[in-house]
Amino acid sequence: MVQSNFDLLMERYLQDKVSPEEKAKLEAWLDAVKTENNKDFDLSKEDQDRLYLTISDKMTSVEDVANFRPSKVRVLTPWIMRIAASLLLILVASVLIWNYYNKNRIQNFTSVDGIQKVMLQDGTIVWLKGGAKLSYTEIKENGAIIRKTSLNGEALFEVAKDASRPFYIDCNGVTVAVIGTSFNLKTIKNEFSLSVLTGKVNIFAEGRTKPIHTLPNETVMIHNGEIHVSQKLDEHARAKFIEGTAYDMNFSAKSLEEVADAFEKKFDVEISFTDESVKSCKITADFTDQSLDTSLKMITEVFNVTYTEKENAIAFSGSGCN
């Protein structure tokens, strides 16, 4: 199979060998298609070439790439549209019923011993540590869905990327605001400590009119109202934050079978292969802080495989690396 320039770009992305501009544009496109019904899209060879040129062009912006769509999109015929209109009425009624029964519904979690993995309904993964307590709810404010949590204790967050639904954490007078990122957070009484691993976090502290913008490898500590910012997170501290979790998904020359095993344990899914030989295909890639959907999409861009997903069962088919 002859790889396209877009396939080669994806390989470089998985090996972290792309430029910062290419990475920002590619991740913007992946995030955009993830939030849509991308099963209606057919990314042809021509579309891949167009997307590659859009990403490579220094004159294009991240927004230009995020707005890229394949040229081939399924068109609904009139009779399908009539059916769709009927389904829309049913959907609206279902949403109203859901809102009625789930208004202010709060989920509570507690880590009794050691580290406990919590998968929230939005796809966010939280690793609760040593007796930490977490609550989660989704509410509607000003026409938008807001993801709201509160934490007492320590936890490692892998927040699912969703720009349309901001993610807030209440920490005894300090509010953490993110869209999609990973960080370690510890909040107990008057002590607050947050270290960013990936992405960007905004921290709103009492007495401050502007948020504290926190970037990767930065730590913000608040003790009795005093704020301290450190701009260097050493490897020892980083290793301690992720110890006992499945956060690290960086693979070097590993088989797809090993990668699939790691995905199964982290995302609570079952993965199968129609062709057993595909399991031995080797891959070097970093899937850390990526959703399951994005990770699977990356694999299909590198190897000659497709996948189907039904509930928690994922099945790969295709010739793989052959």
Residue 13, pLDDT score: 73
Q: Which residues of the chain have pLDDT under 50?
A: 37-40, 74-77, 79-81, 83-84, 87, 91-103
Question: Are 308 and 292 members of one domain?
Answer: yes
Residue 286, pLDDT score: 92
Residue 267, pLDDT score: 94
Residue 98 lies in a domain: no
Residue 9, pLDDT score: 79
| Domain span at 284 | 250-320
Report the CATH number that the domain containing residue 168 is assigned in CATH: 2.60.120.1440
List Cβ neighbours of 219 (8 Å cut-off, separation of 6 or more): 193, 194, 195, 196, 229, 230, 233
Residue 316, pLDDT score: 94
Q: Which of 210, 242, 274 is the last residue of a domain?
A: 242
Question: Are 12 and 32 members of one domain?
Answer: yes
Question: Are 116 and 17 members of one domain?
Answer: no
SS3 for 243? coil
Residue 28 lies in a domain: yes
Residue 43, pLDDT score: 65
Q: Which of 177, 212, 242 is the last residue of a domain?
A: 242
Which amino acid type is present at position 18?
Answer: V
Question: Are 115 and 55 members of one domain?
Answer: no
Please list the alpha-helical segments (H only) found in the chain: 5-14, 20-34, 45-56, 62-66, 78-102, 235-242, 256-267, 292-302
Residue 47 lies in a domain: yes
Q: Which of 242, 271, 299 is the last residue of a domain?
A: 242
Residue 176 lies in a domain: yes
Question: Are 117 and 209 members of one domain?
Answer: yes
Residue 35 lies in a domain: yes
Six-digit token string for 218: 């930065």
